[in-house]
Structure 1
Amino acid sequence: MRTAVITVASRARSEHLSRQRRVLAEVADDIVRVEAWLDESPPSDIPDAGTRTLHVPPGPRGLRVGEGRNRAAAAAVDAGAELLVFLDVDCLPGEELLTAYRSAARAHPEAILAGAVTYLASVQRPETAADLPFLIRPHRARPALPPRETRAATAAEYDLFWSLSFAVTPATWERIGGFHAGYEGYGAEDTDLAWTARAAGVEMRWVGGADAFHQWHPVSSPPWQHLDDILRNGATFHARWGSWPMGGWLDAFAAAGAIEQRDGVWVRTGA
């Protein structure tokens, strides 16, 4: 099964991208590799000749993560990919990630496939694929199945979908329609994709053994630097689906007195 591994990247994550490239070279065979660069200018460093590099500059309100993935997926399909594996720039692929996704795709070609993600601690800086099996500790908020097992997600579990690591056949990707272009900057495009898949009757399956490892970087909780993005993208989601995503962040911002609801819409306090 000819497989594409798709990553969106920026200079802010150049160290993570370099580590991902090294580990991917260890675990991958004959893959199509597509990297979509999201900064204002294209990358200065050119990866190996087998990598297709696209430039998807920011929109007026921020990085276009979903659009970058959409264009990279189109390039991968044009290159003959039979399976699209989306791997966030922060994530390292486990030794069996591609094998597990391919096996699941053969059994469930009409499903969107989601593997488990381990969040690495700041002191964990694996340099080779051989380091990763000892670090598996999947995020507790999402199902983590034994290797070679899959399970259909419940309707409520579509809210747990992450674009950190997932896979889909080109036919199913076309059925979903990709990421909605209305999201720029941080937040909501993941949940929107999952809800679009659910509305289209596309099954989501949790895939055991498709482990990815999220490299550490500093975060804030709640993410104050993304407040305006969260309000804007949340409003876009609400207009499409009648519900507000990222409820935990919104509640935290409200508790801090930064935002309030007016006529069912979250806005900055005093705006």
Structure 2
Amino acid sequence: MRTALITTVAGRTAHLRRQTADVGRLPRRPDRQVVVAMGEGEAERARPACATSADLLEVPVERGELPLAAARNAGAARAIAGGAELLVFLDVDCLPGPGLLARYAAAADDGALLCGPVAYLPPAPPGGYPRDLTGLAAPHPARPVPPADVVLPGGDHRLFWTLSFAVTAATWTHLGGFDPGYVGYGGEDTDFGQRARAAGVDLRWVGGAWAFHQHHPTATPPVQHLDAILRNAARFHARWGWWPMEGWLQAFAADGLARFDPVDGTWCATAKSGPSRDARSIPGA
């Protein structure tokens, strides 16, 4: 099965460089690497951090927000056009464990959406992370971690994430990729998981397909993405009838940055958050 590894990037050149190095040391390497740079000039900046054989393309930024959904779609289209039969998506912040590609390939099946466990690394020590990352971080506590040789079917599609996942080209085509109407951070992953559920595509957790998330500073809740989260949450609500990212929405409300209007049934930014667009359910989204 011809495998493509797909990564989207905007900045984070150092993280991409380390990912590229670790991919090059995998016992099983991808037949094709596709790197999708988001924003004008990002491909040129990313090129030195990519493998010389990597297929590098660039997609424009819209509304000042990263087009994560559209970028993943562009990467998948390029990979499939090049003959890929299995698409493995790995976030630029993630380093592949030694068994990541082999385990995804062994578990690949039309009609399945595959996710591997991810551990969040602490800040890198002087000189960077060691090659062997085992034991440096615990797995994410909210998601299953099957034994290394086990594939756990019947997963909760609400737990699907884009840090590390794989899908056959046939299943990707059946699902139609991500909804590019989600622009900026948040929601497009939960929507994709729900569309997989609605299409009868099983979510399976793949033991041994480890990825390790490189540390970077972040805000909790991610206030820098407030507008995008409100807008994308509204798009999701219009389609599925419930609110995603509810923990973040409630945290924004607790900080006085957003409020829920029970009359209109909408979340919107408050004056405290500065100028922002109301997140109203979008008919036909």
TM-score of the aligned structures, taking structure 1 as reference length: 0.93
Residue-by-residue CA offset, 1:152-190 (whole Å, 9 max, x unaligned): 134xx2111110000000001011110001111111011
Match in the other structure for 2:151: 150
1:1-271 correspondence to structure 2 within 5 Å? 1-11=1-11, 13-27=12-26, 28-45=28-45, 46=47, 47-105=50-108, 108-123=109-124, 125-128=128-131, 131-135=132-136, 137-154=138-155, 157-262=156-261, 263-270=264-271
Residue-by-residue CA offset, 1:97-131 (whole Å, 9 max, x unaligned): 011101111xx332000000000011354253xx1
Residue 30 and residue 113 in structure 1: after superposition, are their counterparts in 2 closer, same or farther (change >3 A)?
closer
Q: Larger relative contact order (C-alpha < 8 A, sep ≥ 6)?
A: 1
Give the CA deviation at 1:240: 1.5
Stretches of 4+ aligned residues off by more than 4 angstroms: none
TM-score of the aligned structures, taking structure 2 as reference length: 0.89
Give the CA deviation at 1:30: 5.0
Residue-by-residue CA offset, 1:2-58 (whole Å, 9 max, x unaligned): 1100000112x1110000000000004352000000022242253343111110111
Residue 244 and residue 133 in structure 1: after superposition, are their counterparts in 2 closer, same or farther (change >3 A)?
same
Distance in 2, matches of 1:36 and 1:127, equals 27
What SS does the corresponding residue of 1:126 show, helix, strand or coil? coil
Give the CA deviation at 1:136: 5.3
Distance in 1, matches of 2:173 and 2:110, equals 13
Question: Is 1:111–1:204's contact at 8 Å kept on the other side of the alignment?
Answer: yes
After superposition, the CA RMSD in angstroms is: 1.5
Distance in 2, matches of 1:48 and 1:22, equals 8
Distance in 2, matches of 1:30 and 1:256, equals 44
> How many aligned residue pairs are there?
264
Unaligned runs of 5+ in 1: none
Q: Percent identity?
A: 50
Instruction: Give the AA of the match of 2:227.
Output: D
Instruction: Give the AA of the match of 1:235.
Output: A
